[in-house]
Structure 1
């Protein structure tokens, strides 16, 4: 899968071209290659600021964003690693609150690629090595790192002693990778997902989690116990009540009344509460309730129920609200449906990768859908209109791109553009809302 962007910098583009030729070698799983690559680079992963490590199916990126903003509101210098990028590869590595500069990015990618040339590393392994090099060389007070696929075999899981680990919402996604047959693994799909993601746990390091269905909760507990990590579960070690005016958070240390985060959707209050719980259950840095409140309000995270600004694309939609969300699985579909409940019905413009569930977004929206237009997912194999038809009560049509789809919509209703973060990135670029 091609998961890299083009760059205006010739030096960066030269390294992105090299990255573009990498893939996961057929049948290879494990952390041996990333360990070997990092050893050649001086093991930068052992020389990081305190690490906040987050896994999950949905919400891990938002949780990382809340952590970053709350830490920064305390006046701390924070490095952040999130994925995937939407427009520029630089989005994956943020140093002290700013996207990594092109010259440094090009140099670090070249260093990692050169060091591992005979190891056949994957795109993700080289990316991880580069971000560890950056985080180890630029001083900071903390770093926030999001996993990619799963956790157990994710390249970031070479981190040995994070300050705290966190587990966001769990659900079925990336089944081809995370449910691949392997001896000794849990047979239930959700339990297997829980095992894979909870495997970022480390000895004596708190694993802070949401509340899960029993079969997933048991898998998390067993995995953490085997790794020697205490589990701090919502509803047990901590809890939060989300209301229209704020978040009532509580744990053994006391209670906090916090504002709702700026990101729309009540599921974001849950992600924010998880981030607060992670801060409250680690000892590497201190963040006051006042800083937490400021950070939650200041947080920004593109393509997550983002209301697009006026721009070249939204101008084609006329005088209506255009929502953008990169969601592509059933949990994301439910979150979108909850957010749109009580709002005007929507025209859905959707481009979804062929390996995703075509009913994931449309089914939860139900009768709130005025029309469905299928567009390509840039650079990837995508579902056809026929794949979506069984999940739509209205006719499903297709268009060559988002601009044409918006221009052809009838006047009533709002717009939801969704189905893929790759599509979301293309929309942001075309609407002149490039993440910074």
Structure 2
């Protein structure tokens, strides 16, 4: 499937519409859809919405990307990861229907997911945008039940535009006429673009800071909207940014009539790997028995700032970073907020990724951003060198979802 189109990313919907039509337009046979776009927080917000809906007994489809350890993670059918036979069946059917025509890997696999969703009974279908929104392969639902736009920041400028307003315009492309849209915290330039499109389409808005508010108070999460106040536990997902993501999820669930029990479950039961995830087992953990090992896949400036804040909230402990990044990212923008949070940053390459940044270049960018750096041959090599120096260190492996996926696969 990777060979069907010369470009890995080529934003247009023509190829998707063609294939969907050949398959009988399965996108028209889905349960109510909640469509989620944004730069940061899409997956975490989706995970919390799913946890809440499943807590009240609803069957929920979910589509996310990229996967970390194996492809099946992208497609959940009524709460369960798609089985190997079911995945093979829909992929082969899409391949036959496509008949060798140009189509990207993400496009054809998204169509396969929609086909699987259409054939499996469920109460809800949660779709996470892959890139942008307006021309993303998921943007084929004529009338979703709701749309969600999480915080927008600079990322993927080569595809979405080099200003916040331009990127917000692409994200806002998922807004549909008359369909409610929940909007997470935004910078003014992004919010104005989102609000303008919603106004043109008559889409009711529920905007952070206007229609709903969320904050952490005395170790609890306090959410308030026009229907009242909720006093809930902090999200199980770590970091102050997860409070904002939780707010968007709660705004969605309240719009669907969820009670306080469902809202609490959304926060406490959500799981989302490689977002400040504490590793508890596997070869890396065994090689560092006295250390804490953490994994995070954030890779843009906003993610770097969120990660720095999360580290600052953890109990004091000598901290080291093991970082590998892609050459398509704003390396300095990611590194700068993290300066001063670690004793040293070990730069590594991401195995198997053609777009990996060489370790020497990652180290150079980190030094320019204020880090003390070293290079390592691999994550395992970096961990071994860190524990030789500081056996009880906190070790954070970070910089890319692709690196995080590699660690999760190799670490069991």
TM-score interval for Structure 1 and Structure 2 normalised by the shorter chain: over 0.9
Which of the residues 357, 367, 376 maps onto 1:399? Answer: 376
Please name the residue that 2:284 is paired with.
Answer: 313
Which of the residues 132, 135, 140 maps onto 1:153? Answer: 135
Alignment of 1:56 with 2:38, yes or no, is yes
Q: Give the secondary structure class of the aligned counterpart of 1:62.
A: helix
Please name the residue that 1:354 is paired with.
Answer: 327
Q: Give the secondary structure class of the aligned counterpart of 2:190.
A: helix
Q: How does 1:223-372 map to 2 (within 5 A)?
A: 223-282=197-256, 286-342=257-313, 343-372=316-345
Preserved contact between residue 358 and residue 383 of structure 1 (Cα < 8 Å) = no
Alignment of 1:212 with 2:194, yes or no, is no
Alignment of 1:178 with 2:160, yes or no, is yes
Select between 61-70 and 375-384 the one with higher mean Cα deviation. 375-384
**Please, which runs of 5 or more residues in structure 2 have no aligned partner?**
none
Select between 220-229 and 319-328 the one with higher mean Cα deviation. 220-229
Preserved contact between residue 73 and residue 81 of structure 2 (Cα < 8 Å) = yes
Preserved contact between residue 133 and residue 171 of structure 2 (Cα < 8 Å) = yes
Distance in 1 (CA, whole Å) between partners of 2:230 and 2:372 is: 48
Preserved contact between residue 8 and residue 105 of structure 2 (Cα < 8 Å) = no
Residue 118 of structure 1: CA displacement?
4.0
Under a length normalisation based on structure 1, what TM-score does the superposition of the two structures give? 0.89
Cα distance, 1:329–1:211 mapped onto 2, change above 3 Å: same
Superimposed CA distance per residue, residues 192-240 of structure 1 (whole angstroms, 9 cap, x where no aligned partner): 1111001100111011102322211111112222333222211111111
Under a length normalisation based on structure 2, what TM-score does the superposition of the two structures give? 0.94
Aligned length: 403
Which of the residues 376, 382, 386 maps onto 2:356? Answer: 382
Q: Give the secondary structure class of the aligned counterpart of 2:20.
A: helix
Distance in 2 (CA, whole Å) between partners of 1:387 and 1:305 is: 21
Select between 350-359 and 339-348 the one with higher mean Cα deviation. 339-348
Please name the residue that 1:9 is paired with.
Answer: none
Preserved contact between residue 346 and residue 375 of structure 2 (Cα < 8 Å) = yes
Select between 409-418 and 26-35 the one with higher mean Cα deviation. 26-35
Residue 386 of structure 1: CA displacement?
3.3
**Please, which runs of 5 or more residues in structure 1 have no aligned partner?**
1-18, 180-187
Select between 29-38 and 97-106 the one with higher mean Cα deviation. 29-38
Superimposed CA distance per residue, residues 255-275 of structure 1 (whole angstroms, 9 cap, x where no aligned partner): 222221111111111101101
Please name the residue that 2:410 is paired with.
Answer: 430
Residue 39 of structure 1: CA displacement?
0.7
Preserved contact between residue 72 and residue 83 of structure 2 (Cα < 8 Å) = yes
Preserved contact between residue 346 and residue 363 of structure 2 (Cα < 8 Å) = no
Q: Give the secondary structure class of the aligned counterpart of 2:189.
A: helix
Distance in 2 (CA, whole Å) between partners of 1:386 and 1:396 is: 11
Distance in 2 (CA, whole Å) between partners of 1:419 and 1:23 is: 28
Cα distance, 1:95–1:390 mapped onto 2, change above 3 Å: closer
Cα distance, 1:241–1:29 mapped onto 2, change above 3 Å: closer
Residue 416 of structure 1: CA displacement?
0.7
Select between 66-75 and 359-368 the one with higher mean Cα deviation. 359-368
Distance in 1 (CA, whole Å) between partners of 2:202 and 2:4 is: 35
Select between 367-376 and 93-102 the one with higher mean Cα deviation. 367-376
Residue 364 of structure 1: CA displacement?
1.0
Distance in 1 (CA, whole Å) between partners of 2:296 and 2:117 is: 29
Preserved contact between residue 46 and residue 128 of structure 2 (Cα < 8 Å) = yes
Superimposed CA distance per residue, residues 35-63 of structure 1 (whole angstroms, 9 cap, x where no aligned partner): 11101111110110111110000000000
Distance in 2 (CA, whole Å) between partners of 1:83 and 1:232 is: 26
Report the aligned-residue RMSD.
Answer: 1.7
Residue 22 of structure 1: CA displacement?
3.6
